[in-house]
Structure 1
Amino acid sequence: MFTKIDDFLKEWETDTAVTERVLDALTDESLGQPVTDKHRTLGGIAWHLVQSYNYMTGLGLEYDEPLAGDEIPASAAVIASEYRRMKEVFRRALTGQWTDETLRRTVSMMGEEWANGASLRFTLNHEIHHRGQMSVLMRQAGLRVPAIAGQTRDDWIDMGRDPLP
């Protein structure tokens, strides 16, 4: 649980920069890569990350721009751009409306009482979870996965080193 807005923002900036690299690596063709025929596609998961900022309004944050729409764009560039837009909309709302004291307040979320600071932790964990799913689908779609938590197999090869099995 976060107890200071600045602590959250530092970690969030690092994590969202990784998400931006992942989204920037997507192609329009890759968006249709499915997990299975009964699950989200790569584009659906990417759009879910954009829309996840919508849910923060359930914690009482008010946005100064429209929420992300329901329809998944067919353009990877649009998804990446909307992610950046919603990220900034969220940042403005968070820094303008919440304080360190606000992080201790509880709100009913998903049928439970969550402290706002815990909701911010969930926000990061949620994004990390879906980024992991996306990395697998990116490989299946033939895309190069950017560094997420250290160098990738492709990075090792580019450096002339043997990748780990």
Structure 2
Amino acid sequence: MRSAFDFAPFRRSTIGFDRLFDLLENSAVGQGGENYPPFDLLRLDDNHYRINLAVAGFGTDEIDIVAQQNQLVVTGKRADDDKADYIHRGIANRSFERRFGLADHVKVTEADLKDGLLSIDLVREIPEAMKPKKISIGGAEPKQDTIEAKASEPSDA
């Protein structure tokens, strides 16, 4: 299924951006209706981020976090509680899977589950080879010893 916007002209005039256009097309399709569990995205500073997911009722052994290339997948599977005799069940007991697209060089550093809130910390680590470097301008430099030598020579006048 395609999005309402046609990226074909951009695909024809760019090189190496195929993944970007695929992400844009798939995100428009994926906005459908799945919104469980709710989550927050926080920017802690320029290179540090946090995802907070509300996973009340899930334990650490019922949640899996998998970081793959450019994708973070959080899944939760609750064990069935067949022993309980519920009169009313208002707390969701459904399994979930949440996917987050990660930019290049974003790594998961840690995850913590406290008070029903799963916090996943991420950091963007740009490789040294990709960081901007200041390039000095080369060229012929004045030779100090030559200028000083000419100034110290006695003049025959």
Bigger strand fraction? 2
- TM-score bracket, shorter-length normalisation: under 0.3
Q: Looking at CA atoms only, which structure, 1 or 2, has the larger radius of gyration?
A: 2
